[in-house]
Structure 1
Amino acid sequence: MAELSRFYGIVIRMYGNDHAPPHFHAVYADRSALVEIATLRLIRGNLPRRARGLVAEWAKTHQTELVESWQRLNRGETPAKIDPLD
């Protein structure tokens, strides 16, 4: 598991050799969600509306980096940290 970013109490993580489709995990307090990278669609779980909006805004800005992180993790490499939402 790699922590890619952290902002406004939200932690973004990704796991190597995880199931398809390529996705990341967003955790906020006791809630979590899986978000598909290509579509930014919520696959599973839920977050409060504000946290969900922040995650969507951040992911849209960093979609290319998220794809690169997925690829690196699945090659057994460590992904780079991704800048938080400002």
Structure 2
Amino acid sequence: MKPTKEQHRKFGRFHLVDPDELEGMDEFAEWLEALLHNPCSVWEEDGDEFLIEIRKLVARVNGLKIQIYANEHPPPHFHVKSPNVDASFSIESCEKLEGNIESQDYRKIRFWHKKAKPLLIKAWDETRPTECTVGPYKGT
């Protein structure tokens, strides 16, 4: 089911509202404000313009953020930021690519990754612009 305009507004994702659903200048101004202050970019391909998210917030719980950025370097990976963690990990193997993490927290992330991997792959593929050198997730 497609999120409603009100749901996008409630969760700070108004930049993802279909402009055909906007009513009046106030909502168009709200949409512009969301475009200017959210992690998105306008890309052009073959004369057509489209909006992509520069990074996708996969999840946020309290001080924890799990993010995937568009137009990233290989290999496909995700970022975890929390008070104790600031690191990136391979989607394929959960290998730590860079950053700081204690071994106890790393074991927990690897445990979590075993179940979350399909959702990470989906988020990665949803954020790939056509010019992305990495492209969609292919796995091994």
Could you tell me the TM-score, scaled by structure 1's length?
A: 0.73
Deviation of the 1:53 alpha carbon: 2.2
1:32 pairs with 2:89: no
The CA deviation at 1:60 is 1.3
**Relative to structure 1, is the Cα distance of residues 29 and 19 closer, same or farther in structure 2, using a 3 angstrom cutoff?**
same
For the residues of structure 1 that align with 2:98 and 2:106, how far apart are their CA atoms? 12
2:93 aligns to what SS in structure 1? coil
Number of equivalent positions: 76
Q: In the alignment, what sits opposite 1:72?
A: 126
Percentage of pairs with the same residue: 25
Distance 1:71 1:16, change over 3 A: same
Q: Which structure has the larger Rg?
A: 2
What is the alpha-carbon distance in structure 2 between the residues aligned to residue 57 and residue 16 of structure 1? 25
Displacement over 4 Å in runs of 4+: none
CA distance in structure 2 between the aligned counterparts of 1:63 and 1:3, rounded to whole angstroms: 15
Q: What residue number does 2:106 align with?
A: 52
Cα pair 1:31 1:47 within 8 Å, conserved: yes
Q: Which has the higher helix share?
A: 2
Q: Secondary structure at the match of 1:18?
A: coil
CA distance in structure 1 between the aligned counterparts of 2:109 and 2:97, rounded to whole angstroms: 14
Q: CA RMSD in A?
A: 2.1
The two structures have a TM-score, normalised by structure 2, of: 0.48
* Worse overlay, 46-55 or 30-39: 46-55
CA distance in 2, matches of 1:9, 1:50: 18
